[in-house]
Amino acid sequence: MVNHTEQESSLVLTRELLRTAIFNISYIRGLFPVKYFRNISVPALDMKMKKLMPMDAESRRLIGWVEKRVYDALQKKNLKTLTFYICETVDGPMIEEYTSIFWDSAPFFSTTFLDSFDSSTFFGLV
């Protein structure tokens, strides 16, 4: 049986993994200007990452989604699947999909790169 301290550690680690993944994907894909990111150290993961800073409404929205809504759902064990899409333009088409599936707060990560979106086709790297 997992004790409370182990559950808290797992929750913190999962939160940091998701935050690191989403912010670094945002940096690598150029979703925000480079000046919106700061280099930080993440002790829970023993690594450095790019942290998105709240520089405008869109960056604040993504930060709030990751740090408040996603974390709240993780904490309450309501989060089953988290999908982060990257679209070519605001109205589409979708070009990348990052999915995390949770079983008892243990994440499974999957990445999909699409040349063109076709819901019947799955191109994935797991």
**Global pTM value:** 0.75
- Beta bridge partner(s), residue 87: 94
Give the CB-side neighbour count of residue 28, counting CA atoms within 13 A: 9
Instruction: Give the pLDDT of residue 118.
Output: 42
- The pLDDT tens digits along the chain (126 residues) read 557 788 788 888 888 888 889 999 999 999 999 999 999 997 877 888 899 999 999 999 999 999 999 999 988 888 888 899 998 888 888 899 988 888 764 555 555 555 444 433 333 332
**């994907």: which residue's tokens?**
25
The C-alpha torsion from 103 through 104 and 105 to 109, rounded to 10°, is: -10
Q: How far apart are CA 35 and CA 52, in angstroms?
A: 9
Instruction: Give the pLDDT of residue 125.
Output: 30
Domains of the chain: which residue ranges? Answer: 4-125
Give the CB-side neighbour count of residue 86, counting CA atoms within 13 A: 19
Instruction: Give the pLDDT of residue 2.
Output: 57
- Per CATH, the number for 4-125 is 3.30.900.10
**């979703």: which residue's tokens?**
31
Contact between residue 17 and residue 47 where contact means Cβ atoms under 8 Å apart:
no
Instruction: Give the pLDDT of residue 22.
Output: 94
